[in-house]
Structure 1
Amino acid sequence: MAASVAKTLARIKGSVEEGAYYEAQQMYKTAFHRSKARNQLADALQILQEGAITQLAHGQVTCGVELGMLLIEAYTTAATPADEASVGRLLAIVLAFPPLPPAGSGSGAATSAPSTSAPAASSAGQGSNSPVVDECARFVASAVKWANKGGAIVSARGIHSAFAAYLWRNFGTEGFGRALLHFIRGDDAETFAQALHTCARQGPAEEVDLWLLRALLQVLTTANSHTRMGQLSQARALYDAFTAGLPTPLNTPTAHFAELMLLAVEHVPLSPHAHKMLQCAKQRYGDGVLRRDGQLAGQLERVEASYFGVRRRGAGGGSLGGLLGDLFKSLTEAH
């Protein structure tokens, strides 16, 4: 970075620390456009990243997100490749989202410093459905869209996971529904499993296995033609993390069905009999398991369509042969 740019950033940061958030926002934009006009694109992008992070560090979510969105716009205009450095800037902004107080606790932003700042969303305590979180989610959606379009699918998973962890860390079970949308598209199975365990402990003990099956189906049904194998890897990692975190192994029809369903999906590229394996699991456990939640059957149909190319629920089981049949037999006998 040019020395003059570094000096400018230091001066703007001073304005932020004095509480002149709106003035600082305009200064960041001006510095960005000047560097861009001089074809100093690297400096211009760095200005936006540092500006966004500095504003977020002071609880100014709207200002921070606005600079982050300008960064994505600059990427698009300049046809910036979605490489480690460019995606890393976006991830750094997500990781800088400020802590938020729970609903009803009031604003946590500093407002005492003299300023002519324009109104900005800061740490207003309105829970996970607040406009503040909506602003963060808007940036995350744009960042993920840009990364996916540039082929950085793995990096997009990291952005999803960072935001899911942020929501979970700030809101816990109250924000789990919103965090779930990102957990299932992310790559942090450990934190996802911990969140599921926490939620499950607040409900009936006999529904722990149902939390696992629901989560696996949600991960798998989110897959598209570009993310199918990544979602399968996430489902396997989640299954392993969830079961490893239990005091005793799950020994229920729902848990066995979840395990066999996952094994069947994993065998799709290995054996033409993979769908028959799933049909057998449905015959053995499906009637009782799928009745526990009205959404399970429809989700399972979508898994069959996505991974097995089956558009309608199979009516029959059929026999399995060879190694795959032996595997299914040993698993069902053990259960």
Structure 2
Amino acid sequence: MAEQSLQGIKRVVDEGAHYEAQQMYKTVHHRYHTKGMLEDSYKILEEGAVLQLATGHLTCGVELGLMLIEAYEKDEVGLTEEACRRVDHMLDGLPEPPTCSSEGSIDGNCKGTEGSKVDEALRLLTAAIKWGHKQGAGAWERRLHDRAARFVWGWQGWSRLALVSAHYAQGSDWQGFASALATCARMGEPCEEDLFVARAVLQVLAWARVDQLADRVSSAQSLLTEYQEDRLLPETPLMHCMQLMIQALNKNSATLFQMLLNKYDASLSRDPSLSHLLQKVEQVFFGAQQTNGFGGMLGGLMQMLAGGAPCS
């Protein structure tokens, strides 16, 4: 039954009446949903979103995608293979960056219409990530974070490095993360390279959950290893601190962790953001109490990091 409805609406899209088609998708979805025909109602939104995105109507496609994720939440849809497939199918339709190289949009000048396009697409990506997080998506959620990081990096490059880093830090694509950092390091001041890397390492650790501490320590080391493949790590006290800190966390040694904070205080004090991240790392790994308002990291993602600063 859904196929017949979709064919009818597609004819409207082919005629160029995208707004009318949008209303039809919504109406048919609600009709099926009210009748308890949930799979058909989901299919209508999925296919509608994909078609609108394919024809360049980003806002229409995103709205239908958001409706599908909202329906999943209201219907308490679990993390099924089909549910994930529908979301992935929609996200595959998001616009490709103008330059899909590993170095992203290096000039960082994606503004105006293109900047709005990125923000619009991020609405759908963020909603998908939040739904996956609530479902305990694990590996799938990490893939979504990597997808979001690559999308923003491809469109806006270093100008949104903070947001790119926040997503990569919660993903698992350490090669992609390291490549983005190395690109920014080549563009920035040499004296700041170790700060880029240290922030990234601490972000990976700070986003850890209590059931994945060992995994995140290993991930932080993987990030350093991948960076070393692209560009030699700076020989600075801050980099030595990061390498020793990974060892301290790997040994679950709060004493060694505190010793490192004291020994490398001058280096860690170069950037206030490092102090915030260190407090979160200490809280997550050793149960230390926070002394500021740095809690709620997932909920505060956009507030904390969306306004990423340039690399220089």
The normalised TM-score by structure 1 is 0.74
* 2:184 pairs with 1:184: no
Q: Does 1:146 align with 2:131?
A: yes
> Once superposed, what is the RMSD of the aligned Cα atoms?
2.6
Equivalent residues in 2 for 1:1-335 (5 A)? 4-99=1-96, 103=110, 124-125=113-114, 127=115, 130=116, 132-225=117-210, 228=213, 231-246=216-231, 248-268=232-252, 274-284=253-263, 286-311=264-289
CA distances 1:290-332 after superposition (whole Å, capped 9, x unpaired): 132233233222211211223489xxxxxxxxxxxxxxxxxxx
The residue matched to 2:272 in structure 1 has which SS? coil
Counterpart AA for 2:276:
G
Identify which of structures 1 and 2 has the higher relative contact order when contacts are C-alpha pairs closer than 8 Å and 6+ apart: 2
Q: Check 1:203–1:54 CA distance in 2 against 1; reply closer, same or farther (3 A cut).
A: same
Instruction: In structure 2, give the amino acid aligned to 1:309.
Output: G
Q: Is the 8 A contact 1:243 1:250 kept in 2?
A: no
Where structure 2 has 5 or more consecutive residues not aligned to the other structure, the ranges are 99-108, 292-312
CA positional deviation for 1:57: 1.8
- In the TM superposition, residue 279 of structure 1 has moved relative to its aligned partner by 3.2
Identical counterparts, % of pairs: 37
C-alpha distance in 2 between matches for 1:39 and 1:294: 53
Q: Deviations 1:186-214 (Å, cap 9, x if unpaired)?
A: 22222111111111111122332221111
- CA-to-aligned-CA distance 1:55-77 (integer Å, 9 cap, x gap): 11222222111111111122123
Q: Compared with structure 1, are the counterparts of its residues 33 and 295 closer, same or farther at alpha carbon in structure 2 (3 Å cutoff)? A: closer
Q: 1:255 to 1:174 in 2, by over 3 A?
A: same
- Alpha-carbon contact 1:185-1:231 (below 8 Å) kept: no
The answer to whether the 8 A contact 1:49-1:68 is kept is: yes
Q: Which has the larger radius of gyration?
A: 1
Q: Is the 8 A contact 2:214 2:250 kept in 1?
A: no
Larger displacement relative to structure 2 (89-98 or 189-198): 89-98
Deviation (angstroms), 1:166: 0.7
| Cα 1:249/1:139, change in 2 over 3 Å | closer
- Unaligned stretches of 5+ residues in structure 1: 107-123, 269-273, 314-335
Q: Which moved more, 1:231-240 or 1:54-63?
A: 231-240
Q: Which amino acid aligns with 2:165?
A: L
**1:228-274 deviation per Cα after TM superposition (whole angstroms, max 9, x unaligned):** 5554454233222222222x454322221111111222222xxxxx1
Q: Which residue type is aligned with residue 288 of structure 1? A: A
Equivalence for 2:106 = none
